[in-house]
Amino acid sequence: MLSYNKLKISEPDYIFILCVFILLIAGLTAIYSASFQLDKGDMQSNFYRQLTWVAIGLVFMIVVYLVPSRTLYSTAYLFYGISILLLILTLFSNGDGKVSRWLSVAGIQFQPAEIAKIGTLLALARYLAQNRRNLENVKEIGVSFGIVLMPFLLIIKQPDLGTSLVFLAMALPLLYWAGLSAFKIFIITAPILVLFASFNFYSFFLLMIIIASVLFYQKKSLVVSLLLFVINISVGIATPLLWNQLRDYQKHRILTFLGMEIDPYGLSYQVIQSKVAIGSGGFLGKGILNGTQTQLRFLPAQHTDFVFSVIGEELGFLGSFIIICLFFFLLLRGIYIASIIKNRFLSLITIGTVVVLGFHVIVNIGMTIGIMPVTGLPLPLLSYGGSFTIVSLALIGIILHTSARRYV
Amino acid sequence: MLADQQIKNKKKQYQYSIFLGILFFILIAQLFYLQVYKQAIYLKASENNRIRQVILKSTRGLILDRNGEVLVDNHPSYSVYATPFEVQDADTVLRLISRILNIESEEISKIIKEKQAGYFTPVRLKRHIDFSTLSKIEEYKLDLPGISIQNDPKRYYPSGVRAPHLFGYLGELTREEYESRKKQGIKFGEIVGKKGLEMIYDTELRGVNGYRYVEVDVLGREIKRLSDKRELLDVPGQNLHLTIDAGLQKFLESRMDTIRGGAIAVDCETGGILALVSKPDYDPDIFSKPLSEDIWNSLLSDQNKPLYDRMVQSLYPPGSTFKLVLAAAALEKGIITPERTETCVGFYRLGTKTYDCWKKEGHGELDLLGAIEQSCNVYFYTLGLKTGQDIWAEYSKKFLFDKPTGIDLMAENSGLVPDREYLDKKYGKNKWSRGLIANQAIGQGDLLVTPLQMLRFTMILANDGFYHKPHVVNFREDVISNKKEWTEIETKKIPDISEKTYKILKEGMRRVVQGERGTAKGARCSGLEVAGKTGTAENPHGEPHAWFLGFAPFDKPKIALCILIENGGSGGAVAAPLGGDVIRYFFNSIN
């Protein structure tokens, strides 16, 4: 491993920073519009609050950018430990039996789940950076998954299905980047695919044939192949049974997404209204403060989870397209930097950041345009929210951190 | 090793980038599909957005009298609304609705602009439209997108009691009023109480609005109600049960119909107001109808000030009724005994000036009770000068003539007791004459009181110093649970006045009505002993104001009352007989 002493800051990535600022401004504009009301001058307080959070977030971004890489590495586990502790505290903080996503320390309220995103990312990256043994060992894969499963389970219990999925999503891309073979990835993903397919007999049947074929062509030992096959079949059978364990609204969300439940005012109402907002925006949009869906407040959570719908309605396809391209550029840049940086830990935290941000962007935008379930994941740099904005900017800081040290 | 890792990472960089590219392509493709390919459909959907939140207006509470008779009720009535977003650029709609409502279309645009609370919040164009307007709008419904009809109940007064000063009226919340009430969740343009009980108890009367979701068609007509789960039912407003006796109130209103002045009667045992009439008044119904500017201006500029509640808001010189205050002061301070006599020759000479008694030929020799009975000015000139300014002012304040009663009505005036400080300020230090003191002794001069304060004073005398805070609302009733919230009876006592003094004053008042030479013989009621005091207050506006204070029965007072007739002439001749009628009516109705 390269010595951390050689990692010196060079030129920051100016174009990258410019893109971040354009996205922040687009977000603030959309929040302003979403909170705008003719009769209530005080409604724009959302806008000013978000402005404050962006400012604090930028400070965090600069701190992450400047902090020595060694510090990030050495504090990774500590950070992770604190995150887990905070998540546990969150579960027990509400004595009245009501679960909350918030924790209050010294009068400041925040969402520990957001902090855990960074903590988990650092810890997993450090673990994988330490163990350059090509990850043949089942135990090491197990530990890697353990690192993400811990926060996943604590957050799903809050319950926040959307955010908890971010942690699961982190595992495979990081493991693969760290060197886990494609076949192992297949073995791990197959049961997940089975899980979804198991609700329909035909899809389940088809998937099992594909799995069988892959196992056959991989020419692994008969025992291993059979074992894997049996595991997948069991998952397929067990899933419908576990389904009943889910909370009603979680079931509801998934069902609605799959179009299996007709629900004119519930969650599909949100998606319909969001699609109407975006679709009616057309190519050029209705103009800022002119979106009828937005101003009429047909959109629920229009300054948080559905902020993209405001952009779609008021800035049209052109505006949405530019926003998506900016995100795409940021993420591609992150992947590129992760691939050229010679420090393994920095490479892994960068690719992890790309995964976390990318997951949010795709799931959130996908949700507003009706191709992803309503999971309640906000859109980085654009959605309203204190903890989330600050953590998003800190994540951006990680990419900047690596990028500035890429010439060593 | 390093080189190897980099090559592998190059490969993975492409894999990751391509995977990301595919996902982002899907997003952009779907966006293109929605915003470009399907734009027309979604635009139409956004224009006809079908699921609307409908406000369930809570029913405004009723106002009832002490016996449960409904005084103020709700009547269905329809208002025309316009949704700003839909009508702002639709000239044809504006022109058509302007013709139907008979309002200039510029005026309509102005109303919308002024009252607009959001693009999609309907603005009320006209309240209480008549049936033919309603049917015309229904007929042209197809040509009037954005125009809707809503039921805005109006108040009506089934009992025949007018009492506009008590009830007040309803109106739209103005932009200025909105600031102070938005915390209660009341929206700009909503109907709120503007005056009287409607305003004071607005929060209790209005209840809480609910809402539900409905599916509407292109015209905004409700097609389907959507599930009950997301509904919030409205909470009806509380009913106000007043202490007012509808019969007595109506009787007084009709008796005083052509009079300028007013009357109040109170239940001596509780402080509950039995009747409160102020004349001239106005028909409370005019505020239920579209109020034309002409009517409003004529009410405002009317010299008789019909909008004023004379009993609570207006100040008058109390005249001879105030002699009782001076008598109490002199007795308490030991300045006189009731046996002390003075001789009235029809006038009183003070320096070079003479001060007349109302009886030119004089009353002859009188003791205190006789002087009260016959309301002799000369006796009280002498007494006033003996007692002096400071003691007189002290006792005027002791009987609370400088304090409001705290009644649950608006804009109560607190009276004016001229003390030494006041007189020094007005006339210069010690520049005020003894003649001024003599005048004050008979309730003239700078002293000003409200009829309500005089009523409280009457109650104090009737109850030997005890009095209750006057109130109009007896209890509020929750119409769902029938739970009653009673107005607390606040009882206090005037300190440091002996029972003996009250006994003397009351005996004097008894003789005013029952005595052979009493000034209020017109207030006598058969089978009932009445006590009272008349007043004839000189004023710069013409004929004197006629006063009558009274309570009955003498032994165990039940009702106290105060009557004031502006420029009516002599209190004994005009006010006292009316007082008698009130007492007679009251006791007939309870027996």
Close Cβ partners of B456 (under 8 Å, ≥ 6 residues apart): B400, B405, B467, B470
Q: Do A338 and B121 touch (CB under 8 A)?
A: no
pLDDT for position A263 = 45
What percent of chain A is predicted at pLDDT more than 90?
32
pLDDT category at A41 given cuts 50, 70, 90 is very low
pLDDT category at B120 given cuts 50, 70, 90 is low
How does strand B484-486 pair with strand B123-129? unpaired
CB B101, CB B87: distance < 8 Å? no
Q: Do B30 and A335 touch (CB under 8 A)?
A: no
Does the structure show a pLDDT above 90 at B248? yes
Instruction: Determine the Cα–Cα distance for residues B551 and B558; give it in Å rounded to an integer.
Output: 7
The candidate with the shortest Cα–Cα distance to B355, out of B269, B437, B293, B277, is B437
pLDDT for position B456 = 95
pLDDT category at A118 given cuts 50, 70, 90 is very high
Q: Domains in chain B, please, with CATH?
A: 77-152 (3.30.1390.30), 246-590 (3.40.710.10)
Q: Do B10 and A269 touch (CB under 8 A)?
A: no
Measured between beta carbons, which residues in chain A are less than 8 angstroms from residue B213?
Answer: 265
Does the structure show a pLDDT above 70 at A72? yes
Q: Do A317 and B32 touch (CB under 8 A)?
A: yes
**Any idea of the CA torsion for A41, A43, A49, A55, to the nearest 10 degrees?**
-60
Closest partner residue to A369 (CB to CB) among B21, B31, B227 is B31
pLDDT for position B315 = 92
A280 interface with B at CB cutoff 8 Å: yes
Measured between beta carbons, which residues in chain A are less than 8 angstroms from residue B230?
Answer: 265
A342 interface with B at CB cutoff 8 Å: yes
Does the structure show a pLDDT above 60 at B241? yes
Q: Domain limits of chain A?
A: 4-36+43-404
Closest partner residue to A312 (CB to CB) among B13, B24, B35 is B35
A176 interface with B at CB cutoff 8 Å: yes
3-state secondary structure of B33: helix
Does the structure show a pLDDT above 90 at A358? yes
pLDDT category at B245 given cuts 50, 70, 90 is very high
Q: Do A336 and B13 touch (CB under 8 A)?
A: yes
* Dihedral (CA of A177, A179, A183, A187) sign: negative
Average pLDDT over residues B284-299: 74
pLDDT for position A265 = 43
Does the structure show a pLDDT above 70 at A134? no
Closest partner residue to A320 (CB to CB) among B26, B31, B121 is B31
User: pLDDT for A367-379, tens place per residue?
Assistant: 888 888 777 789 9
pLDDT category at A261 given cuts 50, 70, 90 is very low
Vertex A80 angle, CA A77 and A82, to 5° = 110
Q: Do A177 and B28 touch (CB under 8 A)?
A: no
A331 interface with B at CB cutoff 8 Å: yes
pLDDT for position A121 = 94
**pLDDT averaged over every residue in chain B:** 86
Nearest CA in chain B to A340: B6
| Cβ–Cβ pairs < 8 A, chains A and B | 140
3-state secondary structure of B175: helix
Q: Do A278 and B13 touch (CB under 8 A)?
A: no
User: pLDDT for B165-222, tens place per residue?
Assistant: 999 888 888 777 777 777 777 777 788 888 889 999 998 999 888 877 766 544 455 6
Close Cβ partners of B120 (under 8 Å, ≥ 6 residues apart): A292, A295, A296, B83, B84, B85
Q: Do B213 and A265 touch (CB under 8 A)?
A: yes
Measured between beta carbons, which residues in chain B are less than 8 angstroms from residue A321?
Answer: 28, 31
A353 interface with B at CB cutoff 8 Å: no
Average pLDDT over residues B387-414: 91
Q: Do A280 and B45 touch (CB under 8 A)?
A: yes
Average pLDDT over residues B138-156: 83
pLDDT for position B215 = 64
**pLDDT averaged over every residue in chain A:** 82
pLDDT for position A324 = 95
Does the structure show a pLDDT above 90 at A262? no
pLDDT for position A275 = 86
Closest partner residue to A276 (CB to CB) among B12, B49, B120 is B49
Per the omega criterion (within 30 degrees of 0), is the bond before B158 cis? no
Q: Do A283 and B20 touch (CB under 8 A)?
A: no
Does the structure show a pLDDT above 70 at A255? no
Instruction: Determine the Cα–Cα distance for residues A295 and B120; give it in Å rounded to an integer.
Output: 8
Nearest CA in chain A to B189: A39
DSSP-H helix ranges across B463-590: 499-514, 576-590
Q: Exposure pattern of A328-358 as b/e (b: 16+ CB <10 Å)?
A: bebbbbbbbbbbebbbbbbbbbbbbbbbbbb
User: pLDDT for B351-374, tens place per residue?
Assistant: 888 888 888 888 888 899 999 999
Average pLDDT over residues A253-261: 54
Q: Do A264 and B10 touch (CB under 8 A)?
A: no
The secondary structure of residue B530, as a DSSP letter, is -
Does the structure show a pLDDT above 50 at A260? no
Closest partner residue to B10 (CB to CB) among A276, A339, A366 is A339
